[in-house]
Structure 1
Amino acid sequence: MATDASFPISRADALAAGLGDADLRRHYRRVLRGQWISGDRATTRDDLRRAALGLVGSDAFFTHDSAAELHGGITPTTDALHLGIPDDRRVRLPGLVVHRYLDRVPTTHARGFPVTTLPQTFIDLASRWPLVDLVVFGDSIAQQSATAIDEFRSAASAGRGRSIRKARRAAALVVAGAESPYETRIRMLMTLAGLPQPVVQHPILDRNGRVIYRLDLAYPEYRLAIEYDGDYHTNAAQRGKDLARREEIERLGWTFVVGLKTDIHGRPGQLLRRMTSAMASLGMPRPRLSDEWLLHFPG
């Protein structure tokens, strides 16, 4: 049985095209209720998205986590697909979360799919995601779009609802330049603990004024660098380069505090103590720490 680009296909469309139930069972497999795909290729995420739109209706659009994913932002892992509909009908389908929008919301297209706009997606996510995840998403989008921060803040300022205060706070914390989600998580740990805001991606210049290195987070006045050491650093060659780079910057008078993924998820308090100890050794004023970080970084 030949396939074509219109798949996934509904059972009704298959029958209208002259295919019987036996053909569907023999040559296709079901991906969502009433939606079938050719059995000779792997199911993709886009196949599931198209099937979901076919099930929910032509007026449906992707929202929340699914819109964030389509916009290219960094999101928590989720299998469920989130869709919106512009009315109050109840739609309950396995694997789908359908949100009802009684007021018209702005939509656009991303990767060929109907989605809520980036600012609307940001506002919607505030109702579902923790503050830190929302800022991680915002930072990742700000890397791609020079206007994203202003759009997030404008939408949050004009918005209303139970989660709008979180959206406003998250929008105010999104910055341009963050290069990894864990860099953002370390910055958020510092922010929620009440430490001064560091410079993001601070450049180190050579004698000719050329940028030779960039530090994840820095307090240039005190030459204190806060860096995230990622999983890719387990590569021996890369680790050697990173250590040589760090030693060269240390010779310029910089002090490093290095955070790992295990620090963020398992020892955030220890990482904060290492930061404040380094600040003290460099004569940097330190505010009294807030306990708010404990609400967002258990461990």
Structure 2
Amino acid sequence: MDNAPFLGSEAVRDGLLTRAELRRDYLKIYRDVYMRRPCEIDAATRACAASVFSRGKAVVAGPSAAALHGSKWISAEHKAELIWHEHRQPYAAILIRADELLTGEVETIDGISVTSAARTAFDLGRKGTFANALAMVDSLCNATSLQPGTVTLLADKHRGSRGIVQLRQVLQIADGGSESPQESRLRLLIHDVGLPRPETQIKVHGADGKVFARIDLGWKRWKVAVEYDGEHHWLNPEQRAWDIERTYRLEQLGWKVIRVSAQQLRRGGIALVARIRDALRAGGAPV
């Protein structure tokens, strides 16, 4: 057996394993769905296991679909989600829905039926808090090159769906250039205080013409860069040394660099917004 989810009953029936081997050497993910120990169960693996549980009859949806499309930041603890019309008995381990899926809203990834990237974004953007919905849609766009406008067209086919107002607001801000939920929340903070919309992943060339930096978000016109520093920026000595050198080079080219920590973002950012506004104003922005 390879290290992918499989049906234990089929493996025993086909003589690939004994029941004793199944109990001893394999981890039960869902009812009759197993993986060889040791194994790491991430969101994508859990989605695959849920599809196996349905015997391929269901469509993987929601964050589970996003994980299969390549989205990062989907928690391994997230309950797998399926759209499965024929399933009637509740099963607490998997979230099973009976949503209507239109033509073109399902595709196949590695043999698994999954909601399309656009349909997945349609579902993600309608649910949960606004900040989390934005981060989810951003991540999916980043992973798949999906454009928010494509999701808007799909939303027009589902007028009146629950959460459609939030979805449309999310799509107005969504940007596939965000590479982490924290960057999405930072961009949302900037939007909420009425500052100009920043660009994402701005390439900066050195004197040799080569790109030496990609700014998380900022404004080329006014040369203001806003950089989110995750934990590795502080704990990795090599990364920290490069951050210092990189900031120096940007400043030599006339950029004002504002570095943001997780703690600053959690505090709500009043002082942070003031710093960004002051930098934009100094650069000539009408703020």
Structure-1-length-normalised TM-score: 0.79
Q: CA deviation at 1:63?
A: 0.5
Deviations 1:49-84 (A, max 9, x none): 454334334321210010011111134424311111
Whether contact under 8 Å (1:73, 1:138) holds in the other structure is no
Look up the match of 2:246.
245
Whether contact under 8 Å (1:67, 1:115) holds in the other structure is yes
* Larger Rg computed on CA atoms: 1
Q: CA deviation at 1:104?
A: 4.3
Q: Distance in 1 between matches of 2:223 and 2:24?
A: 67
Q: Distance in 1 between matches of 2:181 and 2:47?
A: 26
What pairs up with 1:218-297 in 2 under 5 angstroms? 218-234=218-234, 235-286=236-287
Look up the match of 1:158.
157
Which letter maps to 1:218? G
Look up the match of 2:89.
91
Look up the match of 1:191.
191
Look up the match of 1:131.
130
Q: 106-115 or 273-282, which moves further after superposition?
A: 273-282
Whether contact under 8 Å (2:118, 2:146) holds in the other structure is no
Residues 16 and 207 of structure 1: is their aligned pair in 2 closer, same or farther, counting only changes over 3 Å?
closer
Deviations 1:204-259 (A, max 9, x none): 33456544433222223332221212222121222122112212222333222211
SS in 1 for 2:196: coil
SS in 2 for 1:143: helix
SS in 1 for 2:189: helix
Residues 8 and 272 of structure 1: is their aligned pair in 2 closer, same or farther, counting only changes over 3 Å?
same
Q: Distance in 1 between matches of 2:50 and 2:67?
A: 15
What pairs up with 1:1-299 in 2 under 5 angstroms? 3=1, 8-11=6-9, 13=10, 16-17=13-14, 24-25=22-23, 28-37=26-35, 41-42=38-39, 44-45=41-42, 48-77=46-75, 78-87=77-86, 89-104=87-102, 106-160=105-159, 161-207=161-207, 210-234=210-234, 235-286=236-287
Q: CA deviation at 1:41?
A: 4.4
Residues 251 and 60 of structure 1: is their aligned pair in 2 closer, same or farther, counting only changes over 3 Å?
same
Q: Distance in 2 between matches of 1:143 and 1:50?
A: 22
Which letter maps to 1:269? I
Q: 273-282 or 93-102, which moves further after superposition?
A: 273-282
Gaps of 5+ in 1: 287-299
Q: Distance in 2 between matches of 1:73 and 1:227?
A: 21
Q: 28-37 or 242-251, which moves further after superposition?
A: 28-37
Residues 47 and 65 of structure 1: is their aligned pair in 2 closer, same or farther, counting only changes over 3 Å?
closer
How many residue pairs match? The answer is 281
Whether contact under 8 Å (1:140, 1:179) holds in the other structure is yes
Gaps of 5+ in 2: none
Deviations 1:279-299 (A, max 9, x none): 34445322xxxxxxxxxxxxx
Residues 202 and 33 of structure 1: is their aligned pair in 2 closer, same or farther, counting only changes over 3 Å?
closer
Whether contact under 8 Å (1:68, 1:121) holds in the other structure is yes
